[in-house]
Each structure stands twice: as C-alpha cells, then as structure tokens.
A = this chain, B = another copy of it.
C-alpha cells in the first residue's frame, strides 16, 4: 500500500482509525467460546462490524504467541480475512541483527502478508534496514511510546536532544515517508509539535487513546499534517465494548463514535 493509497482511504472514509485486534480468549463473549477457533471467530465479527469505519487493523503479536502455535493459525486466518484495501500492521516490536531481522521481515511481510510491522530501534541501522528491503511494505519505528517506562530511556538527553529525537533524526535517512512511520503515544501529545518539525510528512501511528487515557483532540491539533499523517489506534475500548451476544452492535457503535470525532477533527484542523 502506498502513502497516497493510505491518504485516499482516510479521505474516503473520513477516518484515521486503526483497530487493535488484541484478542484475549478470556475476554471473548461466552457464546463464541464454543466454536472451533474462538479467537478467529471473534476477530471476524469485529472486522465485519467495523471495516467501513477504520483504515487499519493492528493485531499485537503477543496475544497470538501467548496461545502457542494455534494462536498463529488464528492470526493467519484473521489477516487473510481483512479486506485487501485496509492497512494491516503486525505490532511485533521486533529488531535483531541483520540476517535475523530479515527472517522476521519474511515472516510478517511474506508468510502473513502484513503491510507494516512495528520495529524497535535500540539495535540501530542494520537491525531496521532489512525490513525496508521489501517493496510496498512499511516499517513503523518506535519513537516515543505511550507507557510510563518511555521516560526511562526515550526521554534521556542523548546528548542535547532526547533519545527518541535521535532515533527520528537518524532513521529518517534510512527511508522516506513512503516506507517509514513512527510510533508516538497519544499520551505524549505535548511532544507532537516538536516531532512535526523534524518529520512534517511522515505518518505517525498513535496508540494510547481510550483505555490508556490519551486525548484525541490534542493528538490531532498537534500532530495533523497535509495528508492527515495520523493513524490512531484503539483496542480494548472498541473490541471489548460488550461481552454479550450481539456484542457486534456495541463494537460498531463505539467505532462510529470515534470515527465521528475523527471526521469532525479533520474538518476543524485540516
């Protein structure tokens, strides 16, 4: 998927919502637990209920790995079920020495056909570049994450500038905004203005609204660019909107609320 494809989809749907498919079998509605592959069945219903309202789905790999090999089978079926025009992100936070990063890239870009993967920058250039060799695929590099621990190292002055800025400044030479995005937590909205000075054109993947407490309007006000440039993720507050039979209605309603807010904010700030 190209930068332009993404922007076109955002304009068409008037949404920059990404739904996190962080599916925990213990939180799935009871009536689905009797089916053969409850994780896949749940995801399928979430996708059916929301695919016209969001532009991306982002399964966090931990939820599937925690289920062992069967979990990866559920993931594979889920990815195949997502409509081809919707952006898919493997939230894997991988990164390893070169030949090993290439294997991760093959796993997620080829075996699972994801459009993008989140990558941890700690190991530097040769741990990230192997992911960038895949045409039409995206790397989403962790910059400033939404958790409290982001203060431990990402905000250290390293030197002069914070580490997360060093990550952005160095990595933006490794690929252009057509292949590289950055993760910036919604809880870090006050940093978005400074980040936009460094990377005016890049897309940012913004987790942390909803359950984690980030505020959507602050994110948009400080982070929007000419192509919107934001993919805002919500997981728990959407997919666990109800545990009852007919949960799909609650899921759709919650997604619609967020989508409507996004539409209004695009009108206001774009």
Chain A residues at the B interface, C-beta cutoff of 8 Å:
22, 60, 62-63, 65-70, 72-73, 76, 91, 93-98, 100-101, 103-104, 106-107, 111-112, 120-128, 142, 145-154, 156-159, 163, 166-167, 170, 212
| Bound CA span A158–B145, Å | 18
- Chain B residues with Cβ below 8 Å from A69 are 69-70, 72-73, 76
| Bound CA span A76–B146, Å | 33
Inter-chain contact A147/B163, CB cutoff 8 Å: no
| Bound CA span A125–B148, Å | 8
Could you say how many copies of this chain the assembly holds? Answer: 2
| Bound CA span A65–B69, Å | 10
CB within 8 A of A166: which of B76, B153, B167, B170?
B153
Inter-chain contact B145/A97, CB cutoff 8 Å: yes
Inter-chain contact B68/A122, CB cutoff 8 Å: no
The 10 A-B pairs with the shortest beta carbon distances in the complex, nearest first, are: A124-B149, A124-B152, A158-B158, A62-B103, A69-B72, A66-B103, A126-B149, A65-B107, A156-B158, A97-B147
Inter-chain contact A153/B167, CB cutoff 8 Å: yes
Interface centre among A91, A95, A103 (most CB of B within 10 A): A103
- Chain B residues with Cβ below 8 Å from A91 are 96
| Bound CA span A62–B244, Å | 38
- Chain B residues with Cβ below 8 Å from A106 are 66
